Amino acid sequence: MKKIFLFLLMPFALMAQRNEQQELDKYAQAEASIKGFSGTVLVMKQNKVVLRKAYGLADREWNIPNTPDTKFRIGSITKQFTAACILQLAEQGKLGLDDKLSKYIPDFPKGDSVTIHMLLNHTSGIASFTDQPEFANIAKLTWSMDSMILFFKNKPYNFSPGTKFQYNNSGFFLLGYIIEKVSGQSYNEYLRKHILDKLGMTNTGIDRLDSILPFRARGYTKEKDHYVNADYISLAWPFSAGVLYSTVDDMYKWDRALYGTSVISAASKQKMFAPGKGNYGYGVFIDSLGKHYRIGHGGGIPGFITQISRYVNDDVCIIVLSNDSFDAGALADGLANILFDVPVELPYEHKEVKIDPALLDRYIGKYKAFLVVEVIRKDGKLYRHRDGTPDIELKPESETKFFYADGSDRQLEFEVDKNGKVVKIWFINNEQRGEMKKID
């Protein structure tokens, strides 16, 4: 009788289980239909596929949809691969992480104060070429490597080497130069032989504009309510800081490799994943989402924004590759929160409604969490006010919930007690809710 009873309960137990794939897909689909996400998503949990799906278009002019096999430029995720190449060469005794930059470029200003370690973790202080105002005028030009280094090497340092963290594309460009000088191979050749071929990453490589690349996604940028082709940039400039393309499946092969020692040794991984200034290791950020330890990196290059997030203690990997100006990192966070059973609101289209103007006065005041936001009233409307930034109108979609009128998909939801007094607000951004207490 007991066995029969258990058998009868089984269907109900199965029904009670979460359908993670359905929840994740529903969220990603909402991001695509409401916010315009276009790209590919891979969510892996304990080496099993939870979601592997594409959204939007790889080519808007020919109406060709993205697929899980679509190739995207991954931008600065390239830095992980460059860091691994450097660590391999260190293991081989061909360079040292404490080597001075002057060893490889003798005339580089302050080169005897900058180490390879500083280049790897963005503490060199060298001026980043992408931060220079005049870079926009030359980004379309293909120069020799020496000429590109000359463009930034005589710029003033941002700070004394080793004293601060500042994200720096010049540093990783120089690492590519060092890889070529030490190995005697081009960056492409070294990377292909020692990492990509070894891992079977056949759909990853150095992007070239003159090559025929099957399943290549075109890059787009959204301007107000329409898309345009992304600005052209010479791929000589991203180089070892951001020139790779890949697919979600190949990126997962990379994730798997970093759990073992097929690419770099355990000692090298310890160096790579050690958080330094800015919580940056070697080509990776080290932080957490809630209580979940995370190693990851995003990428941004005209027309493409990408993210790989590795929750190593949970054996979860989330990869988002996008061929538009969509916030891939925010989408990856939302997918992770769903997987970790943290409430996430689905995006939706906000519509303004009319409410009693007399209600607005009760919302006026200051609210604080990690920053202070003031809600003010002027001309019969509510505005979000912060010192040093323009006021943003708050449009009502209910008596207690308002959305930012700047199109940023942010909302403030006021929580009131039984007497109608506001006790707190919920700040909603990228479908995540944060509590802000009223302080005035």
Tens of pLDDT, residue by residue over 271-327, are: 999 999 999 999 999 999 999 999 999 999 999 999 999 999 999 999 999 999 889
String of DSSP letters for 276-303: -GGGB-SS-EEEEETTEEEEEEEEEETT
pLDDT at 325: 85
Domain of residue 242, residue span: 72-339
Q: Is residue 18 part of a domain?
A: no
Average the pLDDT over 379-402 and give the result.
Answer: 93
Question: In this structure, are 286 and 409 located in the same domain?
Answer: no
Report the candidate in 112, 42, 123, 95 with the shortest Cα–Cα distance to residue 321.
42
* Per-residue pLDDT at 33 exceeds 90: yes
pLDDT at 336: 97
String of DSSP letters for 330-363: HHHHHHHHHHTT---PPP---------GGGGGGG
Report the candidate in 109, 84, 90, 76 with the shortest Cα–Cα distance to residue 193.
84
Average the pLDDT over 170-186 and give the result.
Answer: 98
Q: Is residue 234 part of a domain?
A: yes
Burial 218-227 (b: 16+ CB within 10 A, else e): bbbeeeeeeb
* Per-residue pLDDT at 27 exceeds 50: yes
**Which stretches within 105-260 are classed as H helix?**
116-120, 135-138, 145-153, 169-183, 187-191, 197-199, 239-242, 248-257
Which tens digit of pLDDT belongs to each residue from 338-347?
A: 999 998 888 8
Question: In this structure, are 428 and 304 located in the same domain?
Answer: no
409: pLDDT confidence band, cut at 50, 70 and 90? confident
17: pLDDT confidence band, cut at 50, 70 and 90? low
* Per-residue pLDDT at 405 exceeds 50: yes
* Per-residue pLDDT at 371 exceeds 90: no
Average the pLDDT over 41-52 and give the result.
Answer: 98
Rounded Cα–Cα distance for residues 306 and 296 (Å): 11
Question: In this structure, are 306 and 374 located in the same domain?
Answer: no
Q: 269: domain CATH number?
A: 3.40.710.10
* Per-residue pLDDT at 96 exceeds 50: yes
pLDDT at 21: 96
Question: In this structure, are 291 and 428 located in the same domain?
Answer: no
Question: In this structure, are 266 and 396 located in the same domain?
Answer: no
Q: Is residue 170 part of a domain?
A: yes
Q: Is residue 271 part of a domain?
A: yes
Question: In this structure, are 203 and 326 located in the same domain?
Answer: yes
pLDDT at 196: 98
Question: In this structure, are 281 and 207 located in the same domain?
Answer: yes
* Residue, of 86 and 11, whose pLDDT is higher: 86
Report the candidate in 22, 34, 38 with the shortest Cα–Cα distance to residue 339.
22
* 145-153 vs 169-183: helix crossing angle, rounded to 10: 140
**Count of structural domains within the chain:** 2
pLDDT at 433: 84
List Cβ<8 Å contacts ≥24 apart for 141-146.
141/234, 142/234, 142/236, 143/234, 143/236, 145/177, 145/236, 145/239
The owner of tokens 């290549």 is 216
Question: In this structure, are 318 and 378 located in the same domain?
Answer: no
Q: 414: domain CATH number?
A: 2.40.128
* Residue, of 379 and 265, whose pLDDT is higher: 265
Question: In this structure, are 174 and 319 located in the same domain?
Answer: yes
Question: In this structure, are 330 and 409 located in the same domain?
Answer: no
Average the pLDDT over 179-190 and give the result.
Answer: 98
Q: Is residue 384 part of a domain?
A: yes
Q: Is residue 313 part of a domain?
A: yes
Which one of 278, 310, 339 terminates a domain? 339
Question: In this structure, are 315 and 373 located in the same domain?
Answer: no
Q: Is residue 135 part of a domain?
A: yes
Q: The whole model's pTM is what?
A: 0.89
Average the pLDDT over 174-189 and give the result.
Answer: 98
